Amino acid sequence: MHPLLKRDTWRFIDQSITMKSRTPLESFAMDDTLCQLVGQLQSSATVRTWVHDNTVVLGIQDHRLPFVQEGIQLLNEQDYQAIVRNSGGLAVVLDSGVLNISIILSEQQEAININEGYDVMVDLIKLLFPEACDKIEAYEIIGSYCPGSYDLSIGGKKFAGVSQRRLRQGIAVQIYLCIEGSGSERAKLVKDFYDVSLKEEETKFAFPKIRPEVMASLSELLNMPLTVQDTVFRLQAVLKQLSNQNMVQSLNEEELELYTFYLKRVLERNEKMLAKK
């Protein structure tokens, strides 16, 4: 277990229900807010859970696709909205069967390199699913959406991807966990988006060639009726084991003012990114 997981106090913010019908842009603003608060030692290290209804979260490169507006139209026709996130990576799918977890740490007192940040998240996920601990591997799954060296998979099938956001000496390590439903159906949606947005046109950036069969949900991989809420309960239990004190609390009035600042910034940036070219 990574030493950064064991600490005196973890702050826990559960937005797995309250954020569902809201835009994921609010979650990115929340993580930016927590990055500043934790990074400047105004808050304990924090774990936050979040779930959003049908959204495809695009990366910065995705919004440069030659026919991206047609791709977004396809997503809209499938009852998905599209936004552009402020952390790295490419398109990912969010829906009610996908649990997102953010770990927010401060490196004001000790530097945390990029790989170390990822390792903290991988170790947390292994603690969450002890029945699969020895099967979970972290390496790039070719053919998955948003591929990266810290893709989490079982038997070569990806169920999670990790990204990082660094701001004001705070680090938000973010993971999406496909818990319920069909991982391959989510991957097919992203494949269709790229097919329409690219139309086989040559681009400077190499977008992934999606193979839906290399992606699955954890409930499929573990062959058990696992749910998002089951996983949130597991996480709460793990955090109790990892700390002497747990603070389950939302933002206070002063923190909400900072959140309003970051939300305005995120909304304006997203609007600019998705402006029709």
The catalytic residues are 146
Please work out, in degrees rounded to the nearest 5, the angle formed at the alpha carbon of residue 239 by the alpha carbons of 236 and 244. 125
Starting at the edge strand that comes first in sequence, how are the strands of the sheet with 55-58 ordered?
Answer: 81-84, 55-58, 92-94
Beta strands in the chain (DSSP E): 7-15, 46-50, 55-58, 81-84, 92-94, 98-106, 137-138, 152-154, 157-167, 170-178, 243-248
* Tokens found for residue 17: 């229900």
The H or E element spanning position 149 is none
Task: Work out the burial of residue 258: count CB atoms within 10 Å of its CB; fewer than 13 is exposed, 13-18 middle, 19 or more buried.
Answer: middle
State the SS3 of 93-126.
Answer: EECCCEEEEEEEEECCCCCCCHHHHHHHHHHHHH
Please work out, in degrees rounded to the nearest 5, the angle formed at the alpha carbon of residue 105 by the alpha carbons of 176 and 7. 105
Helix/strand/coil for 26: helix
What number of helices (H) and strands (E) belong to the chain?
7, 11
Rounded CA gap, 208 and 87, in Å? 18
Q: Are 5 and 120 in contact (CB under 8 A)?
A: yes
What are the distances in angstroms from CA 163 to CA 80, 118, 183, 204, 225? 22, 8, 19, 23, 27
